[in-house]
Amino acid sequence: MIPNTSGSIPADLDRWLHANDQRGMDDLFAFLRIPSVSAKSDHNADTARAAEWLNASLTRFGFASEILPTPGHPIVLAEWRKAPAGAPTVLIYGHYDVQPSEPNELWTSPAFEPTVRDGKLFARGAVDDKGQLWVHAMALAAHLGARGTLPVNVMVLAEGEEEVGSVNLAHFIERNRARLACDYVVISDSAMFAPGIPSILSSLRGLAYFQIEVQGPSGDLHSGMYGGAVVNPAMALARLLATMHDARGRVAIKGFYDRVRAFPAAVLMGMKKLPHSDARFRKDVGVKALGGEAGKTTLEKLWTRPTCEVNGMLSGYTGEGAKTVLPAKAMAKVSFRLVPDQDPDLVEKLLRAHIKRVAPPGVTVTITAMHGGRPWRADLDGPLFDAARVALAAAFGRDPVIVGEGGSIPVVGDFERILGAPVLLVGFGLPGENAHAPDEWISVDNLRRGMRAMAVLYDALG
């Protein structure tokens, strides 16, 4: 069923999208059949093929598109710059690479054979991110197909390394800063809050990830012969980790919250109105009670508050049975999610000072910074977000909600910082979409409404 958007989509664009619906779907299927797994070098030819496929498609739609090399997988950059004088320039970012499909045996239909069941299109990359990139391609094609023109200048930048950390993207943007100059950046690589509720993602948490190693005796000791006189590094590590939070679930590192800037009251209020259920969340996660900072709602905790988590922990004997060893060392991977205006480098300094203060004598504690990313928050005023509200309301029949995201998308900050343009994060996935898991899917209805919403967005920005 092609959605009835009740005349709120310009008739010519809606008609074109109707007429080209099957062909657009066939094209997306072809895109999804290419196993462009960027993490696996034995898929390098497939990844290159996906870039070529996308480049050819955008060229066919009327873009000047080319494949630009990087030290890793290439970047597809397609441009259309014939908008009326004074029209703004929009840069659309997406990625054509996908996560590995393993474990393949858990897929209902094969990962690289797109299949529609119950209104869901299943395939690796369906939602992350080929399907969402295709939403934009079709919206642009509708303008060029129906009208022969676009109301804005457009660049589509699609990278092939998002799933391996976008290792070459920031450098590429820096190097092509003049060419990539734009007024707005639009990214669709996220999900809506719930079915039928169009969503604008207005914040991302940052990350500061560390490995903490506690070295005690020079070798493992017998816990009977030495226990009681030698500081146990595993116990010392446990005691260090226990100092990370206070009794109310706040991070107890001095200065940690100094740079935390409160979220706007309107955003917090909006979150409280979202149809979230703690009971449902607990059931999904499989726990009887939730944790975290006292006095905050779950969505506040996930989207607006920084955290300290243990991601891994290893010491001594962990095999079957009992071994009476006093371990020589203990290790934990500890990461912090950050919110504006926390800074990963500053958090590292604070952590080092904290550990120095609480580490007991008798052990040596080493901290290694693994990687970090800055948190991000959109300024929700201005023409980009106004246009997005109009576009989403037209296609989905209701106003969008403002949501946050607990994870990190480091490139968002890169675009904003290097190009000086505001970034709109508008996603068409849904909860349970299995983005990095077997049976990844996107709603076919969301694909169609997304194309219409983005077609309206370009009109609204023009």
d(CA 408, CA 413): 10
DSSP code per residue over 6-51: TT-S-HHHHHHHHHTHHHHHHHHHHHHTS--BTT-GGGHHHHHHHH
d(CA 456, CA 5): 12
Of 249 and 397, which has the nearer Cβ to a copy of itself? 249
Of 439 and 459, which has the nearer Cβ to a copy of itself? 439
Q: Which residues contact 206 (CB under 8 A, 6 or more apart)?
A: 337, 338, 339, 342, 344, 372, 373, 374, 375, 376, 408
- Residue 344 binds a copy of itself (CB under 8 A): no
Shortest distance (Å) from residue 231 CB to a copy of itself: 3
Shortest distance (Å) from residue 407 CB to a copy of itself: 3
For tokens 């290790």, what's the residue?
331
Binder among 348, 406, 416, 462 for a copy of itself (CB under 8 A): 406
For tokens 């997005």, what's the residue?
388
Binder among 226, 264, 341, 367 for a copy of itself (CB under 8 A): 226
For tokens 């990190």, what's the residue?
408
- What tokens appear for 140 in the block? 């642009």
- Residue 265 binds a copy of itself (CB under 8 A): no
Shortest distance (Å) from residue 434 CB to a copy of itself: 7
Binder among 15, 298, 343, 418 for a copy of itself (CB under 8 A): 298
Site residues for a copy of itself, 271-290, by CB under 8 A, read 281, 285-290
d(CA 443, CA 433): 9
Shortest distance (Å) from residue 248 CB to a copy of itself: 12
Q: Which stretch binds a copy of itself (CB under 8 A): 137-145, 150-158, 232-240, 253-261?
A: 232-240
- Residue 359 binds a copy of itself (CB under 8 A): no
- Residue 232 binds a copy of itself (CB under 8 A): yes
Site residues for a copy of itself, 163-192, by CB under 8 A, read 164-165, 191
d(CA 331, CA 312): 8
Site residues for a copy of itself, 193-212, by CB under 8 A, read 205, 207, 209, 211
Of 225 and 269, which has the nearer Cβ to a copy of itself? 225
3-state class of 243 per DSSP?
coil
**Single-letter residue type at 20:** N
- Residue 357 binds a copy of itself (CB under 8 A): no
Shortest distance (Å) from residue 239 CB to a copy of itself: 5
Tell how far CA 400 is from the center of its chain: 19
- Residue 54 binds a copy of itself (CB under 8 A): no
Site residues for a copy of itself, 79-118, by CB under 8 A, read 99-100, 102, 106
Binder among 17, 173, 330, 403 for a copy of itself (CB under 8 A): 330
Torsions phi, psi for 321 (to 5 deg): 75, -160
- Residue 362 binds a copy of itself (CB under 8 A): yes
DSSP 362: T
Q: Report whether 373 contacts 408 (CB < 8 A).
A: yes
Q: Which residues contact 363 (CB under 8 A, 6 or more apart)?
A: 214, 215, 216, 231, 233, 236
